[in-house]
């Protein structure tokens, strides 16, 4: 009898144990997964007992050990290169590794300008652009930049002691600057154009990885393609109208479209620098001290801008952590030798700048921390003589032609803000960086402003 009872108890115990085991390792995860997925929260499926841990371990190992690997965008291979020697080889050789043809959305945003050109056309356009953004020409744009920042700071007076969302402010600022420097007009006049371009950028980011049968888009258009065609036409018409109004040459139109859309990158870059300074108030103080020593309350001049050492370190570190353009794309043709690889077919190469900027082998274990002091002795020292590990503006012959323009704009805005305000992050801030054309804060950047 006792044996029977004990056996019965043992069976009950085992059944209970098994039930608990299956409940915890199978039923409960499946229940959670389906409850979350019914609310639109998706993810890789639960695998019995191991979940996704194996995949995560494998991916971690791979990311630590592999420098180059292949991805598939639909049937199209994309070679990801992070080996610095190869990055250097690719970026230095614009003929062997040209930019690929722009896809339809990108074409609509950037038009037919320098960003896309190749060969002789690129050479001619690049020469003109180099000239436009250098020396006296760039100096000549500084008064327009200062006037635009002054206009912004005038608006900020109503927010003193309160919260202000600065990403929106910087969008207005950079479009004001580009309107003044490119058209001699005000942002308000071109506001509609900026809104249309923002919508185009959003459509681009939604459609970036959509796989379509080649040539089909010419016959059957998706809703987004129809909308983007219309936006492209409207942007062109509006710009032509503005140019005609000023009786300028209508053939400059494509160039201006391109400049406006690129200007989006500058405001996001400025936003992340303000974000980092709002958290790291010690660096905010250091930057302010440097500014007050060099300029006092005076407006900036070009000669003195280059003396802002702390500011340069901060801007570099901000661009390293929140790299605006997260990757560079090139093309490699069948038979081209890249390192020990001979390309088997035409394929895209992707250089993930963001990953290079976050590689602990180069930057150290504190790679994710904001430490502008890494740049105290310049980029070569910060990268242990691997300067291709830091390329927010790219490097080589096709680097950013607007780099000096962008950096001048960012430095002038930072300088004039720091001359007038202390700022901290608002408690309402939600950290959610997303990638549109550049990395931007999805929920904006609210800060609290305190006048000095």
Q: Interface residues with ligand HEM (CB under 6 A)?
A: 99, 114-115, 126, 129, 259, 262-263, 265-266, 269, 324-325, 328, 392-394, 398, 400-402, 405-406
CB of 218 to ligand HEM, least distance (A): 25
The minimum distance between CB 347 and ligand HEM, in angstroms, equals 16
Kindly state the smallest distance separating residue 436's Cβ from ligand HEM, in Å: 14
Query: Nearest approach, Cβ of 256 to ligand HEM (angstroms)?
Result: 10
Which is nearer to ligand HEM, 165 or 264 (by Cβ)? 264
Distance between CA atoms of residues 279 and 299, nearest Å = 26
Q: Which is nearer to ligand HEM, 321 or 448 (CB)?
A: 321
Cα dihedral across residues 157, 293, 447, 188: positive or negative? positive
Question: Sheet harboring 163-165: ordered strands across?
Answer: 163-165, 446-451, 421-425
C-beta of 346 vs 422, nearer to ligand HEM: 346
Q: What is the DSSP string of 101-142?
A: PPPHHHHHHHTTSTTT--HHHHHHHHHHHHHHTSHHHHHHHH
CA distance 48 to 21: 11
Alpha-helical segments (H) within 44-113: 53-65, 84-92, 104-110
Query: What does DSSP say about strands 347-351 and 76-81: parallel, antiparallel, or unpaired?
Result: parallel
- Scanning the structure block, which residue is given the tokens 């006037």? 147
d(CA 331, CA 142): 37
Pick between residue 269 and residue 383 the one whose CB is nearest to ligand HEM.
Answer: 269
Minimum Å gap between C-beta 36 and ligand HEM is 37
CB of 100 to ligand HEM, least distance (A): 10
Centroid of chain to Cα 339: 28
Select 181 or 228, whichever has its Cβ closest to ligand HEM. 181
Is the CB of 261 or the CB of 284 nearer to ligand HEM? 261
Q: Which is nearer to ligand HEM, 235 or 266 (CB)?
A: 266
Within 13 A of 232's CA, how many CA atoms are on the CB side?
19
Shortest approach of ligand HEM to residue 324 CB, angstroms?
A: 4
| Closer residue to ligand HEM in complex, CB, 163/255 | 255
Nearer to ligand HEM, 88 or 126 (CB): 126
Nearer to ligand HEM, 51 or 98 (CB): 98
d(CA 201, CA 268): 14
Q: How many whole angstroms separate alpha carbon 91 and alpha carbon 88? A: 5
- Whichever of 138 and 367 has its CB closer to ligand HEM, that residue is 138
- Strands laid side by side in the 68-73 sheet: 68-73, 76-81, 347-351, 328-332
Instruction: Name the residue number minimizing CB distance to ligand HEM.
Output: 402
DSSP bridge pairs for 329: 350
Give the residue with the Cβ less far from ligand HEM, 265 or 449.
Answer: 265
Residue 153 CB, nearest distance to ligand HEM (Å)?
A: 21
Helix axes 403-420, 135-156, angle to 10 degrees: 30
What does the alpha-carbon distance between residue 208 and residue 224 come to, in Å, rounded to a whole number?
12
Shortest Å distance, C-beta 134 to ligand HEM: 12
The answer to whether 324 and 353 are in contact (CB under 8 A) is no
Coil, strand or helix: which one is 364?
coil
Q: How far is the CB of 419 from ligand HEM (least distance, A)?
A: 22
For the bound state, the minimum distance from the C-beta of residue 110 to ligand HEM, rounded and expressed in Å, comes to: 9
Contacts of 100 (CB under 8 A, 6+ apart): 329, 330, 331, 348
Cβ(264)–Cβ(409) below 8 Å:
no
- Based on the number of CB atoms within 10 Å of its own CB, is 88 exposed (0-12), middle (13-18) or buried (19 or more)? middle
- Could you tell me the smallest distance in angstroms from the CB atom of residue 329 to ligand HEM? 6
Name the H helices within 358-402. Answer: 360-363, 378-382
Q: Note whether 331 and 93 are within 8 A (CB).
A: no
């Amino acid at each position: 009898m006792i044996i029977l009872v004990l056996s019965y108890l043992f069976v009950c115990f085992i059944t209970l144990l098994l039930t608990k085991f299956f409940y915890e390792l199978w039923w409960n995860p499946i229940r959670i997964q389906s409850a979350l997925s019914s609310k639109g929260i998706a993810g890789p499926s639960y695998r019995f007992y191991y979940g996704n841990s194996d995949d995560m371990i494998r991916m971690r190992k791979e990311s630590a050990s592999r420098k180059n690997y292949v991805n598939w965008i639909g049937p199209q291979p994309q070679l990801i290169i992070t080996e610095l020697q190869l990055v250097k080889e690719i970026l230095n050789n614009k003929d062997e590794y040209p930019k690929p043809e722009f896809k339809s959305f990108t074409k609509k945003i950037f038009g037919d300008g320098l960003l896309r050109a190749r060969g002789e056309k690129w050479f001619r356009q690049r020469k003109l652009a180099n000239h436009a953004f250098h020396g006296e020409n760039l100096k000549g744009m500084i008064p327009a930049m200062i006037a635009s920042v002054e206009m912004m700071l005038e608006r900020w007076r109503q927010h003193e002691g309160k919260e202000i969302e600065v990403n929106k402010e910087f969008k207005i600022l950079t479009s004001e600057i580009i309107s003044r420097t490119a058209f001699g007009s005000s942002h308000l006049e071109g506001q509609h154009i900026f809104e249309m371009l923002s919508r185009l950028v959003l459509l681009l980011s939604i459609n970036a990885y959509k796989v379509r049968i080649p040539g089909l888009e010419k016959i059957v258009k998706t809703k987004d393609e129809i909308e983007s065609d219309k936006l492209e036409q409207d942007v062109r018409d509006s710009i032509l109208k503005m140019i005609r109004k000023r009786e300028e040459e209508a053939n400059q139109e494509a160039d201006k479209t391109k400049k406006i859309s690129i200007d989006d990158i500058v405001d996001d870059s400025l936003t992340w620098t303000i974000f980092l300074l709002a958290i790291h108030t010690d660096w905010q103080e250091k930057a302010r001290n440097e500014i007050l020593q060099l300029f006092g309350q005076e407006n900036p001049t070009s000669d003195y801008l280059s003396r802002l050492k702390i500011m340069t370190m901060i801007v570099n570190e901000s661009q390293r952590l929140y790299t605006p353009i997260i990757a560079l794309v090139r093309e490699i043709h069948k038979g081209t030798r890249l390192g020990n690889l001979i390309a088997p077919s035409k394929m895209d190469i992707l250089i993930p700048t963001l990953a290079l900027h976050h590689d602990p082998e180069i930057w150290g274990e504190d790679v994710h921390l904001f430490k502008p002091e890494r740049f105290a002795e310049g980029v070569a020292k910060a990268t242990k003589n691997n300067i291709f590990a830091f390329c927010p503006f790219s490097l080589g012959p096709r680097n950013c032609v607007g780099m000096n323009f962008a950096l001048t704009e960012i430095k002038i805005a930072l300088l004039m803000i720091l001359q007038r305000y202390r700022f901290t992050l608002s408690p309402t801030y939600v950290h959610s960086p997303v990638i549109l054309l550049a990395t931007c804060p999805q929920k904006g950047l609210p800060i609290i402003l305190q006048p000095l």
